[in-house]
Amino acid sequence: MHRLKSYITSLVFLATLASGCGKTQTAVPSSRTTEDTGQTENAGSAPVADSVSKVERTGSAVGGNSNVVEQQISADTSTQTEAQASDIPVSNLESRLQDMLHNFHTTGDRVQRSAIAAEMRKLADDGVPKPQIASALGDLFRDENSADVKVDILNELGNLEDPSAYDQIVAGLDQHQPDEVHAAALEELDALGDKRAIPLVQPFLTDRDADVRDAAKSAIDSLNGQ
């Protein structure tokens, strides 16, 4: 009987011990689950924070470059405005200028082309705006192949005696133009008296052609003395 009681007591003790161990094992996974969940939440929030940071940095970069973009747009607008001021579209020219341009481009006679340039300049006496005439003469100059006619056109631009002729005369200084055209352009810039021409004239002081050098020296002396 005593042995039976001892045996029963042992069974109860083992049962109690087993029950306690089961509770401990159940509590441990629960704790780990909580920790793992916290890590998962932190990992999920990290990309969000990184994304926000990148957006903020991108916004700052765009804001920092806005002035550069605005300056570039302003510079482009200024360049376009200057081009429009010196080269007027043919459709906006006075009808007589348009007719002369057509006749110039369709005749193969060199003397006739020079005569058209002279008649075009004389339209200033009839009230045609000089900037329009200068633009039309510039168009003639660009399309002309004869050096002699180019010189005649430059002379007519000089005879306008108007600041609007400046850009068209400067085209005669292009490096691909022949020496006689360079010399004529230098002479007309000298007569026009626009000091903007000084840095453009200076390289011709050492030109290979004596007439070009002389014209450049005369222009520099005149422009610096004004």
Of these ranges, 40-54, 66-80, 85-99, 115-129, the one predicted with the greatest mean pLDDT is 115-129
What is the SS3 string spanning the chain?
Answer: CHHHHHHHHHHHHHHHHHHHHHHHHHHHHHHHHHHHHHHHHHHHHHHHHHHHHHHHHHHHHHHHHHHHHHHHHHHHHHHHHHHHHHCCCHHHCCHHHHHHHHHHHHCCCHHHHHHHHHHHHHHHHHCCCHHHHHHHHHHHHHHCCCHHHHHHHHHHHHHHCCHHHHHHHHHHHCCCCCHHHHHHHHHHHHHHCCHHHHHHHHHHHHCCCHHHHHHHHHHHHHHHCC
For 161, left (φ over 0), alpha (ψ -120 to 50), or beta? left
CA distances for 132 relative to 20, 84, 87, 180, 201, angstroms: 107, 11, 8, 26, 26
Percent of the chain at pLDDT above 90? 58
Q: Is the pLDDT higher at 79 or at 136?
A: 136
* pLDDT, averaged across the chain: 76
Of these ranges, 7-16, 44-53, 87-96, 154-163, the one predicted with the greatest mean pLDDT is 154-163
Confidence of residue 87 (pLDDT cuts 50, 70, 90): confident
Residue 192: other Cβ atoms inside 10 A? 21
**pTM, entire model:** 0.62
| pLDDT, tens only, 123-169 | 999 999 999 999 999 999 999 999 999 999 999 999 999 999 999 99
What's the N-to-C CA distance of the chain in angstroms? 140
- Whether residue 38 is predicted with pLDDT greater than 60 in this model: the reply is no
Q: Is the pLDDT higher at 50 or at 222?
A: 222
| pLDDT, tens only, 58-68 | 344 334 433 43
> What structural domains and CATH numbers belong to the chain?
90-224 (1.25.10.10)
The rounded distance, in Å, linking the Cα atoms of 189 and 179 is 15
